[in-house]
């Protein structure tokens, strides 16, 4: 099975809410190691533990988004290195050249790296402003022909409203992508939802901080929300 795992930057920061929490990242690495056999795994990481462009005030949107892209590169380089220390092969791809630190993305190179047994990271989003890491996640999943996107968030699934605001918010065990778009639910942003719907790319949404949540996403113990096509 070929999967693309989207990790939120905030979730990797743990209780600190910013930067990295090494214990959390090592926990992710150990889970990836457990599920690697029989699966080809790629990863996208958000940059919210360092930078959130939409809260950057009067800054030019293009520049704010470029800073966000670089935040995702820092995250992927760090997490990839932690993975290597845990005995996992790792390679970071970007849509733009960053010296010798990353590999320029191509579909053939990425799939070859997967088949060689590496965990591959897609950093830098789409390489263009105005597109979020959600959009980059769906776009990369489609390009490498992934079977599913796993969305590891700081919330345990998809709700009909924000559970942090509405204590009576209803959680869905399963919901269709068309319903997500119709109801305007923010599983991923609207553009990414539309692209996933058009190309029939399913999601699994779960809480990264739940014990063994990534392992459970690929087993019968899944406690999050399945977003179907």
Mean pLDDT of 31-55: 87
Residue 104: burial class (beta carbons within 10 Å; 0-12, 13-18, 19+)? exposed
**Residue with more model confidence, 142 or 54:** 142
- 92 versus 165: which is more confidently predicted? 92
pLDDT score for 162: 86
pLDDT score of 54: 63
Q: Judge whether residue 55 has pLDDT over 70.
A: no
Q: What average pLDDT does the structure give for the chain?
A: 91
Q: Where do we find the tokens 């996640």? A: 137
DSSP string across 151-181: EEESSSSEESS-TTT-TTPPEESEEEHHHHH
Whole-angstrom distance, CA of residue 139 vs CA of residue 145:
10
* Percent of the chain whose predicted confidence (pLDDT) is above 90: 64
Order of strands across the sheet that contains 40-45:
103-104, 90-94, 119-122, 40-45, 2-7, 148-153, 203-207, 225-228, 174-176
SS3 187: coil
**Rounded to the nearest 10 degrees, how much is the dihedral formed by the CA atoms of 155, 156, 158, 160?**
-80
The overall pTM is greater than 0.85: yes
pLDDT of residue 53: 65
What is the band of 98 on the pLDDT scale with cuts at 50, 70, 90? very high
Q: 31-51 b/e with 16+ CB inside 10 Å = b?
A: bbeebeeeebbbbbbbbbbbb
The full length of the chain comes to: 229
Residue 173 pLDDT > 80, yes or no?
yes
pLDDT of residue 50: 86
CA–CA distance, 210 with 212 (Å, rounded to integer):
6
- Is a pLDDT exceeding 70 seen at residue 56? no
- Hey, how many other C-beta atoms are within 10 angstroms of the C-beta on 228? 15
**Rounded distance between C-alpha atoms, residue 133 and residue 9, angstroms:** 11
Q: What is the pLDDT of residues 182-211, one digit of tens each?
A: 888 888 888 999 999 999 999 999 988 888
- Structural contact between residues 44 and 131, judged by C-beta atoms closer than 8 angstroms: no
The yes-or-no verdict on residue 163 having pLDDT over 80 is yes
| Mean pLDDT along residues 93-117 | 96
Least confident piece of the model among 25-34, 53-62, 168-177:
53-62
Tokens linked to 148: 């599913």
pLDDT at 73: 95
């Amino acid at each position: 099975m070929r999967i693309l795992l989207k990790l939120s930057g905030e979730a990797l920061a743990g209780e600190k809410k910013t930067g990295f929490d090494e214990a959390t990242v090592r926990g992710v690495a150990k889970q990836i190691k457990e599920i690697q056999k029989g699966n080809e795994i790629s990863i996208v990481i958000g940059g919210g533990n360092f930078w959130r462009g939409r809260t950057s005030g009067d800054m030019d949107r293009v520049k704010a988004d470029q800073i966000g892209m670089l935040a995702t590169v820092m995250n992927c380089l760090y997490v990839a290195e932690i993975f290597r220390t845990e005995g996992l092969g790792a390679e970071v791809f970007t849509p733009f050249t960053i010296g010798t630190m990353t590999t320029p993305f191509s579909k053939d190179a990425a799939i070859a790296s997967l088949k060689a047994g590496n965990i591959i990271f897609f950093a830098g989003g789409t390489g263009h402003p105005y597109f979020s890491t959600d959009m980059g996640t769906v776009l990369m999943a489609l390009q490498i022909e992934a079977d599913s996107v796993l969305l590891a968030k700081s919330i345990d699934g998809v709700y009909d409203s924000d559970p942090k605001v509405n204590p009576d918010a209803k959680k869905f065990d399963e919901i269709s992508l068309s319903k997500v778009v119709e109801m305007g639910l923010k599983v991923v942003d609207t553009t990414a939802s539309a692209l996933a719907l058009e190309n029939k790319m399913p999601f699994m949404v779960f809480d990264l901080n739940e014990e063994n949540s990534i392992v459970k996403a690929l087993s019968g113990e899944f406690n999050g929300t399945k977003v179907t096509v």
